[in-house]
C-alpha cells in the first residue's frame, strides 16, 4: 500500500536574524529590529519594516538576543514536534498497511470459512441422502426377506400338498366296480379317477367306502393304461430298430446325412479294365468283359465295399479346434465318406467333428466345434473320384 504523506506546513517560529529589507519573510519568521523581536504574520512580506500592524507583531522588547534564543528554542521544539509528527505519520502509514493486510487476510479467511461451510453442508446433505437410501435399501431387503420367507412357506405348503396328493392317488379305473375291486381298502387322502363317470372318487374313512365327489375332470387329453402300455412298447421297438440301423450304418452303409464326403483314396487296383457302360447279364460268364458280377468291374466293386478303415483322433491332438491325421490312403485322387465308429457316435456328434478336403497328399484335417474330452474313433470309406485313374 503506497505511503500517504500530509504536509503540515510551518508549525513553529523560524529565526531569521536582523531584519533585511531585501529579504522576503513568511509567517512565523522572527527577526530583530530596533532592539525588539518581531513575528511575521503574512507570507511574502518584503520591504515592510517591522512595526505593529498587519504584517508584524512585536513579542519582546529590549533583550533582543535573549528573544532570539527563546525563538530558537521554540524553533527546536517545533522541529522536534514536526519530526515526531512525521514519525507518527509514518507509523500511521505502517499501521494502515498492516491494517489493510489484516483486512485482506480476514476477507480470505472469511471466504475459506464460507467455502468450508458450503462443503460441510453439501457433505451433510449427501450423508443424509445416503442414509435415506440405506434406509430404503434396508427396508426393501427386509421386505424381500419377508416375501422370500412367504414364498418359501407357500412352496413348502404346495410341496406338502402335492406330496399328499401324489401319495394318495390310486390311478385311473374304467368303472367304480373295478376301483372297489382293485382298492378295497383305503386311507384318508386316497383318490382315483373313474372313467364311466369322468369324476374324482375319494376314500371315506367313516363309511369305509369309495365316494363319488361328482367333480368332473376332462380326460380327453389323457391316455388310458392300455394306450400308455402300447406306446411304451412301440417306443422300445423303435429304439431297438434305430440302434440296429445306426450300427449297420456305422459299419458299412454310412448315410450322406450323417457323414461328409471328401476327396480320398483306395480301390484303384483292378480298375484298369473298367467299361464306359455296364449291363446286367442274367447269367454272367466267368471272365466276361461285359458283366457287373465278373471280371475287373466285379473286383473293383468288391474292393470298394471293403475299403473302410478306422482311425483315431487323440484327445490331446486338437489345436485351435483342428487335428490332422496322416495316412498314405489319403489322396486327392479319391473321394471319402467319413463318419464315426460305433463306440464314438455320441462324442463325434457332440463335439461337432467334420473333415476337410484332402489338399496335401497323405493327410486329412478334421475340425470340431468343441474339443472332445477323450479319443474319438472315425470310420473312413475311400472311393476313386470320377475321372481319376
260 and 342 inside one domain? yes
Q: Select the more confidently predicted residue: 86 or 251.
A: 86
8 and 156 inside one domain? yes
Q: Please state, in angstroms and rounded to a whole number, the distance separating the CA atoms of residues 102 and 97.
A: 8
8 and 150 inside one domain? yes
Q: Select the more confidently predicted residue: 250 or 335.
A: 335
Q: What is the pLDDT of residues 151-208, one digit of tens each?
A: 678 767 655 555 555 567 787 888 999 999 989 988 888 888 888 888 888 899 888 9
CA 144 to chain centre: 25
389 within some domain: no
223 within some domain: no
278 and 369 inside one domain? yes
Q: What is the pLDDT of residues 67-82, one digit of tens each?
A: 556 556 666 666 776 7
5 and 127 inside one domain? yes
305 within some domain: yes
* 351 pLDDT above the threshold of 60: yes
* 122 pLDDT above the threshold of 90: no
Identify the pLDDT of residue 19: 95
1 and 150 inside one domain? yes
178 and 90 inside one domain? no
Mean pLDDT of 289-310: 55
With contact defined as beta carbons under 8 Å apart, do 60 and 70 qualify?
A: yes
Shortest CA distance to 302 belongs to which of 329, 339, 263, 267? 267
Q: Please state, in angstroms and rounded to a whole number, the distance separating the CA atoms of residues 65 and 67.
A: 5
Cell representation of residue 194:
373313474
Domain that residue 292 falls in = 254-384
Q: Provide φ and ψ at 335, rounded to 5°.
A: -100, 150
22 and 126 inside one domain? yes
Between strands 354-355 and 29-33, the pairing is unpaired
Number of domains in the chain: 3
1 and 135 inside one domain? yes
Amino acid at each position: 500500500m503506497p505511503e500517504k504523506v500530509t504536509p503540515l506546513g510551518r508549525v513553529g517560529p523560524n529565526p531569521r536574524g536582523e531584519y533585511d529589507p531585501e529579504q522576503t519573510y513568511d509567517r512565523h519568521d522572527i527577526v530583530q529590529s530596533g532592539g525588539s523581536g518581531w513575528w511575521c504574520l503574512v507570507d511574502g512580506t518584503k520591504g515592510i519594516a517591522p512595526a505593529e500592524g498587519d504584517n508584524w507583531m512585536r513579542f519582546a522588547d529590549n533583550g533582543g538576543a535573549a528573544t532570539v534564543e527563546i525563538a530558537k528554542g521554540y524553533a527546536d521544539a517545533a522541529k522536534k514536534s514536526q519530526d515526531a509528527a512525521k514519525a507518527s505519520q509514518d507509523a500511521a502509514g505502517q499501521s494502515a498497511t498492516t491494517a489493510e493486510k489484516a483486512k485482506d487476510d480476514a476477507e480470505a479467511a472469511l471466504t475459506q470459512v464460507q467455502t468450508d461451510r458450503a462443503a460441510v453442508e453439501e457433505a451433510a446433505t449427501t450423508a443424509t441422502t445416503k442414509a435415506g437410501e440405506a434406509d430404503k435399501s434396508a427396508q426393501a431387503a427386509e421386505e424381500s426377506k419377508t416375501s422370500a420367507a412367504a414364498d418359501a412357506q407357500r412352496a413348502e405348503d404346495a410341496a406338502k400338498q402335492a406330496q399328499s396328493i401324489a401319495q394318495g392317488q390310486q390311478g385311473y379305473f374304467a368303472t367304480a366296480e373295478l376301483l372297489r375291486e382293485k382298492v378295497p381298502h383305503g386311507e384318508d387322502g386316497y383318490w382315483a379317477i373313474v372313467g364311466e363317470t369322468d369324476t374324482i372318487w375319494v376314500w371315506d374313512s367313516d363309511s369305509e367306502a369309495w365316494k363319488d365327489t361328482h367333480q368332473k375332470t376332462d380326460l380327453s387329453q389323457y391316455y388310458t393304461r392300455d394306450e400308455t402300455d402300447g406306446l411304451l412298447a412301440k417306443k422300445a421297438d423303435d429304439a431297438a430298430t434305430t440302434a440296429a440301423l445306426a450300427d449297420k450304418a456305422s459299419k458299412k452303409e454310412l448315410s450322406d446325412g450323417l457323414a461328409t464326403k471328401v476327396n480320398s483314396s483306395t480301390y484303384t487296383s483292378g480298375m484298369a479294365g473298367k467299361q464306359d457302360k455296364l449291363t446286367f447279364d442274367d447269367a454272367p460268364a466267368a471272365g466276361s468283359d461285359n458283366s457287373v458280377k465278373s471280371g475287373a468291374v466285379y473286383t473293383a466293386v468288391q474292393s470298394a465295399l471293403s475299403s473302410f478303415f478306422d482311425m483315431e483322433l487323440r484327445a490331446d491332438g486338437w489345436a485351435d479346434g483342428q487335428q490332422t491325421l496322416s495316412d498314405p490312403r489319403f489322396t486327392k485322387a479319391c473321394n471319402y465318406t467319413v463318419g464315426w465308429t460305433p463306440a464314438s457316435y455320441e462324442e463325434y456328434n457332440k463335439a461337432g467333428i467334420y473333415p476337410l478336403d484332402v489338399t496335401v497328399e497323405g493327410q486329412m484335417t478334421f475340425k470340431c466345434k468343441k474339443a472332445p474330452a477323450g479319443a474319438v474313433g472315425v470310420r473312413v470309406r475311400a472311393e476313386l473320384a470320377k475321372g481319376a485313374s
